[in-house]
Structure 1
Amino acid sequence: MENPVIIFGANALGQAAKEIFESNDIIVYGYLDDNEELHGNELGELSVLGRTDDDGHLKLIGKKCEGFIAVDDRALRKGIVKLLKERRKKMPVNAIHSNTEIAPTAHIGHGEFINSGVVIGANAKIGDHCMINSNALVDYSAQLGDLVQVGAGAVVGAEAQIGENVFIGSGVTIVPGVKVGKNVRIGAGSVIIADVGDDKTMFGNPAKEV
């Protein structure tokens, strides 16, 4: 990536993304955020330039800059993705820490946040706009749908299939081959040993619906 990056979201996630880009010697131009109290302020050495829908800065995306979305709220993230696609005909770039291990045969989508120490195995498939936090493992041939969040130290076993919009807490273990439906939430430290249907909240070892 040659162009500098504008980060959508002047929050802790945005600042973590900034460090990821800098670990790859990529320049960050600044932040956009809808909290007007932050506008004109500096976080570290970077300025909060304006709102996420500011045309003056959006017009730079795809020309002089790239965009990355650092927003935890998945509905808001989807809205900003739609904005970029409609106004700029662009998808957000990936923030992948230099200290990761990604197999050459793995498929990585768009707009990913992949932090330090993450391992993604052979033939794994990561959907768009996922967040994979520090030291998580996505083992070989596992699949993550779009907008999946994987907590620090979590393990997604080989050939497991995770639906879209799933939250996997820190330290979770999903055993190999398990299928997890869409919109599922899995509490920290839980162990998933059997298939989980859509829209469930799971917790415990072994995990049960709560």
Structure 2
Amino acid sequence: MEKPVIIFGAKGIAHPALEIFNSNKVIVYGFLEEEASLHGTEINVVPVLGHPEDDGFLKLIGKKCEAFVAVDDNKYRQFLVKLLNERRKVQPINAIHDRAYISTDASIGHGNFINAQVTVGAGSTVGSHCIFHTGAIIDHTCQVEDFVQVGAGSIVNAGVTLKEGAFVGSGVTIVAGLTIGKNARIGAGSVVISDVKDNETVFGNPAVPIKK
């Protein structure tokens, strides 16, 4: 990658995203962050330049810089992706740690955060703007839709489908062949042995729905 990167967001996964780009010898030009109190600060000598919607910085995207969205919150992440798509006509790039393993027979979209020791197995399809934390395993022939987040050390076994916006906490095990519904949430440490419905929150071993 010849162009430097501007990272959108300066909290949450922004610091590990910087480390990922450093591991791949990609220059990070700076961070853009909505929280004004962080403007003018630095993360590992890389400056927080200003607000993500500042046209002075946005105009650099696509011409002189690439963009990566390092925001954990799905709604704001979607907002920033739409902003880049519509105002700059660009897709955010992937941040893939050099110690992650992506099968040569897997496919991934745009704007994904894939940290160290993550595995994406053969025949799996990953959409765009997903977040895979350290050591997450996406086994073979899984289908992962857009804006999915999988916590550190979680195991998504073969043939699982994670629908758009699904959230899988840290240390979760999902048995093979299940479907986790759109915007479903799985609590940390859970063992999931049956399908999870759209917008449902489950927790436990075995995981059961949490009553609202």
Q: Which category describes the TM-score, using the shorter chain as reference length?
A: over 0.9
**Does the alignment pair 1:132 with 2:132?**
yes
Unaligned runs of 5+ in 1: none
Residue 97 of structure 1 aligns to which amino acid in structure 2?
A: H
Q: Please state whether the residue corresponding to 1:12 is helix, strand or coil.
A: coil
- What are the equivalent positions in structure 2 for 1:113-124 lying under 5 Å apart? 113-124=113-124
Q: By how many angstroms is 1:177 displaced?
A: 0.4
What secondary structure, in the 3-state scheme, does the structure 1 residue paired with 2:123 have? coil
Distance in 2 separating the partners of 1:174 and 1:71: 25
- Corresponding letter in the other structure for 2:201: T
Aligned to 1:87: 87
Q: Which residues in structure 2 correspond to 1:165-184 (within 5 Å)?
A: 165-184=165-184
Quick one: which amino acid aligns to residue 163 of structure 2? G
TM-score normalised by L of structure 2 = 0.97
What is the alpha-carbon distance in structure 1 between the residues aligned to residue 43 and residue 195 of structure 2?
Answer: 43
1:1-210 matches, cutoff 5 A? 1-210=1-210
List structure 1 runs of 4+ shifted beyond 4 angstroms.
none
> Partners in 2 of 1:42 and 1:142 — Cα distance?
38
What is the distance in 2 between the residues matched to 1:96 and 1:156? 19
Kindly tell me the number of residue pairs found equivalent between the two proteins. Answer: 210
Percent identity of equivalent pairs: 55
**Higher mean C-alpha deviation, range 76-85 or range 38-47:** 38-47
- SS state at 1:30 partner: strand
Name the SS of the counterpart of 1:56 in structure 2.
helix
Output the TM-score relative to the length of structure 1. 0.98
Task: Tell me the distance in 1 between the aligned counterparts of 2:114 and 2:41.
Answer: 27
In structure 1, what is the Cα distance between the partners aligned to 2:195 and 2:13?
31
* Matching residue's letter, 1:145: E
